[in-house]
Amino acid sequence: MAIGAVALGSAVATAMLGAMLDVGDRVNRELRSLGANLIVTPKSAALPVEIGGIRYQPAAKDEFIPEALVPKIKSIFWQLNITALAPVLRAQTEIGGRETPVDGVWFLRNFRAPDGTRVTTGLRALNATWKVEGRWVDDPNPSDRSAECVAGAAVARRLGLRPGATLELFGEPFTVTGILATGGEEEDRIFLRLEVLQRLTGRAGQVDSIQVGALTKPEDAFARKNPSQMNPVEYDRWYCTPYVSSIAHQIEETLPMAVARPIRRVADNEGRVLTRIRGLMLLISLAALATAALTVWSVMATTVLERRYEIAIMQATGAGNWLVAVLFGAEVAIQGAIGGLIGAVAGVQLSNWVSQSVFGVRAEAPALLAPLVVVVAVAIALAGAAQPLRRALALEPAVMLREGA
């Protein structure tokens, strides 16, 4: 019964811990397909002033980010946490008697990162859940001057556009390859290849912003401290932790002309989702281990009661309490190790089943999780046996032997 209780508790704990340790990155990557959680803009464009409900933007000569510097974002300390980035150039043109926003973007661009690796990124990689009726604009190489565009669903409804229609932008005809439906403000825009809009607006090599998707750790009280008020040890800890604020700070170090701001609504929601999921799985794991400990305690209480005469004979023949405790402790530890090993093996399989059911992919539990669970199982078994054994050792051998006689 003790082995079975420990095995069951260990299996549930292994399954929940395996899923919990893997769920952070998995959920984070799923959320990253929903869009950016960081926005990078020129410093001059990041200082708007609002007076009487009217938004004023300070005048500046260099109110843009050089496109050539965009790949440098992949050179920060947490470069592997940058899942996707999409530079954007914004403009407006009159369509159907109304000013309509037009964005020049990387749709799906392959470029060489500063460390020499090839990276495929862009608007499509950053927003993998966006749906297009028709097809996306092909983004083969920067020299391609193909006159194609993607229209937002709201613009398409207003102008009666369908995939394959022709739309005039900035005095030039463009073929609408697809209609984009997102449920957001993107439906009111037209999307062109970045180089095409740069040519049409005379802003070669310039972008107005960079949308960045990054895997981040949910912010805690420490992350919300002002970095300028941290001591060197605290600053190093903050800098070397993938908080959204520390990644934004590293991007600003790499692009001195820009400011990186977390999209708080996205980042905060991600943090709450991950914290609640992990908290739930940790609670289930602790409950399973506590149940195993209580079962071991119950079994050991019965076992010690049945073997109290054996303990009394050992004490009467010269065995000290420490020797009796070691013998019973070794027996309980072996039971805990066997139960923990059975539970760890079963728990890994259960963890795979949970991840497959919830996330559609197999879990990748850390290699050290199974040995750790076995060690914890032994500790749980010993903890459950400690109180019954202590009570048995406190009994007088003579009284017990007389009672047995």
- The pLDDT tens digits for 173-214 are 999 999 999 888 889 999 999 999 999 999 999 999 999 988
Q: How many C-beta atoms surround the C-beta of residue 198 within 10 A?
A: 20
The pLDDT tens digits for 118-164 are 888 899 888 888 889 999 998 765 555 568 999 999 999 999 999 99
Number of structural domains (the chain) is 2
Give the separation between CA 219 and CA 158, rounded to whole angstroms.
42
Domain C-terminal end among 219, 234, 262:
262
Q: 228 and 349 share a domain?
A: no
Q: Do 150 and 187 form a contact (C-beta atoms < 8 A)?
A: no
Give the separation between CA 218 and CA 277, rounded to whole angstroms.
12
* Residue carrying structure tokens 């980035």: 85
Q: Do 226 and 219 form a contact (C-beta atoms < 8 A)?
A: no
| DSSP structural state of residue 184 | S
- With respect to residue 27, please indicate whether it lies within any of the assigned structural domains: no
Give the separation between CA 203 and CA 157, rounded to whole angstroms.
30
Q: 256 and 292 share a domain?
A: no
- With respect to residue 180, please indicate whether it lies within any of the assigned structural domains: yes
Q: 116 and 170 share a domain?
A: yes
- With respect to residue 30, please indicate whether it lies within any of the assigned structural domains: no
Q: Is 260 exposed, middle or buried (0-12, 13-18, 19+ CB in 10 A)?
A: buried
Q: Do 153 and 190 form a contact (C-beta atoms < 8 A)?
A: no
* Per-residue model confidence (pLDDT) at position 282: 77
Q: 255 and 291 share a domain?
A: no
* Residue carrying structure tokens 């004490």: 315
pLDDT interval class at 50 (50, 70, 90): very low
| DSSP structural state of residue 405 | -
| DSSP structural state of residue 34 | T
3-state secondary structure 79-145: HHHEEEEEEEEEEEEEECCEEEEEEEECCCEEEECCCCCEEEECHHHHCCCCEEEECCCCCCCCCCC
β-strand pairing of 98-105 with 54-56: unpaired
Dihedral angle computed from the Cα positions of residues 393, 394, 398 and 399, in that order, rounded to the nearest 10 degrees = -120
The pLDDT tens digits for 344-380 are 888 888 877 777 776 665 666 677 777 888 888 888 8
Give the separation between CA 157 and CA 8, rounded to whole angstroms.
58
Q: How many C-beta atoms surround the C-beta of residue 353 within 10 A?
A: 14
* Per-residue model confidence (pLDDT) at position 153: 93
Given a cut of 70, whether residue 298 has pLDDT beyond it is yes
Q: Find residue 214's DSSP bridge partners.
A: 82
Furthest-apart CA atoms within the chain: distance in Å = 110
Domain C-terminal end among 262, 297, 324:
262
The pLDDT tens digits for 20-32 are 666 656 666 666 5
Residue 65 is which amino acid? I
In the predicted model, what is the mean pLDDT of residues 300-325? Answer: 77
Q: 338 and 369 share a domain?
A: yes
- With respect to residue 26, please indicate whether it lies within any of the assigned structural domains: no
Give the separation between CA 89 and CA 197, rounded to whole angstroms.
7
pLDDT interval class at 60 (50, 70, 90): very low
- With respect to residue 106, please indicate whether it lies within any of the assigned structural domains: yes
Domain C-terminal end among 222, 245, 262:
262
- With respect to residue 28, please indicate whether it lies within any of the assigned structural domains: no
- With respect to residue 29, please indicate whether it lies within any of the assigned structural domains: no
Give the separation between CA 342 and CA 44, rounded to whole angstroms.
62
Give the separation between CA 175 and CA 151, rounded to whole angstroms.
10
In the predicted model, what is the mean pLDDT of residues 222-248? Answer: 89
- Give me Rg for the CA atoms of the chain: 32
* Per-residue model confidence (pLDDT) at position 136: 92
Cα–Cα separations (whole angstroms), residue 115 to 77, 180, 221: 12, 34, 34
Q: 86 and 163 share a domain?
A: yes
Q: 59 and 111 share a domain?
A: yes
* Per-residue model confidence (pLDDT) at position 207: 94
Give the separation between CA 192 and CA 13, rounded to whole angstroms.
51
Average pLDDT of the residues of the chain: 80
* Planar angle of CA 131, 89, 107, nearest 5 degrees: 35
* Per-residue model confidence (pLDDT) at position 132: 92
Given a cut of 60, whether residue 59 has pLDDT beyond it is no
pLDDT interval class at 90 (50, 70, 90): very high
Q: Is 160 exposed, middle or buried (0-12, 13-18, 19+ CB in 10 A)?
A: exposed
Give the separation between CA 47 and CA 57, rounded to whole angstroms.
7
Tokens of 353: 């089943």
Q: Select the more confidently predicted residue: 390 or 79.
A: 79
Q: 176 and 79 share a domain?
A: yes
Q: 252 and 286 share a domain?
A: no
Tokens of 63: 């109110």
Give the separation between CA 100 and CA 154, rounded to whole angstroms.
11
Q: 82 and 103 share a domain?
A: yes
Q: Do 289 and 383 form a contact (C-beta atoms < 8 A)?
A: no
* Per-residue model confidence (pLDDT) at position 227: 87
* Per-residue model confidence (pLDDT) at position 363: 62
Tokens of 267: 């980042």
* Of the candidates 166, 159, 210, 189, the residue with the CA atom closest to the CA atom of residue 91: 189
Given a cut of 50, whether residue 54 has pLDDT beyond it is no
- Per DSSP, the chain holds a count of helices (H) and strands (E) of 11, 16
- With respect to residue 373, please indicate whether it lies within any of the assigned structural domains: yes
Percent of the chain with pLDDT over 90: 28
| Domain of residue 136, residue span | 37-262
Least confident stretch, 126-130, 321-325, 368-372, 390-394 = 390-394
Q: 320 and 231 share a domain?
A: no
Residue 142 is which amino acid? P
Q: 363 and 311 share a domain?
A: yes
